[in-house]
Amino acid sequence: MSDFPARLLELFSVAADWLQDPRRVAELAALAVSAAGSWALVVAARRRLARIELREGSRSHRILHSIVEELLFPASFAAIAGTAALALPSFGMPGTIARILAVVALALLIVRLLVNGFRQLSGPASLLAASGSLVVWVVWPVTALLLLGWLEPALQALDSVAITLAGARFSLRDVLQTLVTVMVFVVVAAYLGGLIERRLMAAQELPIGVRVGVAKATRLMLITVAVLLSFNLLGVDLSGLAVFSGALGVGIGFGLQRIASNFVSGFILIGDRSIRPGDVITIGERFGVVRELRARYVVVRDRDGVDTLIPNENIITSEVINWSYSDRSIRLTMPVQISYQDDPRRALELMTVAAQAHPRVERSPPPVGRVLGFGASGIDLALRYWIRDPEDGVNNIRSDLYLAIWDAFKEAGISIPYPQQDVHLKMAEMPPARDGATRF
């Protein structure tokens, strides 16, 4: 560990010697201008992308966004720095820094190309998509050092920084090697889990609950096996994980109980098949279609296209209306009131005909009209009908039928009464006054 300060001082002394040469200062200035030009190109591309009318979240939008945000700067800077490395010796400048920066930018471009390629294959909701930036910033320095031929000296420098605990020596190299190995195994396991999940979700002959449950269990098993294999490959004693498991249990008991509860609730939802993708549910004031069952939450999309992430625990412990639990057919009731001067039999017939003409109303059982009672302002009627597509909305079909009933009533001369009350005034005879005077 005592070698590290000496190497750091040596590095500073080399940098100071470089800066004493005016040609290297000019080279650094030229590279700074090149970096500024590359960044200006990225800014201009961002503005251009903002003017392109693409649906946000679409595949074309994701690809263009990745090119502009992640690939354009390293590609342009690698090209400019490589050109400078070839041109600067003609002006009497060494071009060493330009070559180094060109290699570093090229390494960043290669890593980002590979990560973005796997990200496009695995989808926007994959683990690689969520941790893509972390993967880039871990793998990029290693790739740059490898291309420059500095990997072995860098590993020796990291190995010199170490501490000793309980007779075991731990260096920075061991820590970074462990992190990189575990990350690579987990990313590969997540990618394989995504492939298996897509194959399972495409198997229409299996129930949706079975597909989702098997996919989640497979992905969890692959990630667990990947972590254990990476530890075994690094020579970590797995028997020491018993202490870690105990600490993890205590952490779950105190701080992670809600996360653990949501995770377990997700498997309960999959097991009892009370909520499935495609179901139409109402929880609280939220009405929508279940899009996904995730490990921690359920994605519900309402009629406005807004996705709500509802924790699994809330669905387990709250009252949920599942409109399509056992049967996708649901019955809707529409109250209607007519005047006492109109014929209720004719009104019921017109209401039934209007419902039968709508394409979303089921023919079996057929729509029916009922007289509910005699109200204060008119005769209370009701139209009852069945639909099989509640995910397409229920208020829109109500609106269509109300308009159809309005037109039918207007054509037939049937009126819808206003709220009204009849007030009858009775004049009582006043007895004459005792003194013979007239009372007013």
Please give the pLDDT value at position 142: 74
Question: Which domains, and CATH codes, for the chain?
Answer: 1-160 (no CATH), 257-322 (2.30.30.60), 330-412 (3.30.70.100)
Instruction: State how far the Cα of 199 lies from the Cα of 207, in Å rounded to an integer.
Output: 14
How far CA 303 is from CA of 60, 289, 328, 388, 392, in Å, comes to 25, 8, 18, 17, 8
Q: Is pLDDT of 402 > 80?
A: yes
Using only the alpha carbons of the chain, give its radius of gyration: 37
pLDDT tier for residue 2 given thresholds of 50, 70 and 90: very low
Question: Residue 21, by phi and psi: left (phi above 0), alpha (psi -120 to 50) or beta?
Answer: beta
Instruction: State how far the Cα of 316 lies from the Cα of 275, in Å rounded to an integer.
Output: 10
Residue pLDDT, tens place only, 174-223: 777 777 788 778 878 877 887 787 787 777 777 666 677 777 778 778 88
Please give the pLDDT value at position 419: 78
Please give the pLDDT value at position 338: 92
Q: Which of 167, 154, 274, 168 is nearest to 212 (CA)?
A: 274
Residue pLDDT, tens place only, 184-193: 788 788 778 8
User: Rounded to two decimals, what is the model's pTM?
Assistant: 0.47
pLDDT tier for residue 254 given thresholds of 50, 70 and 90: low
Q: Is pLDDT of 263 > 90?
A: no
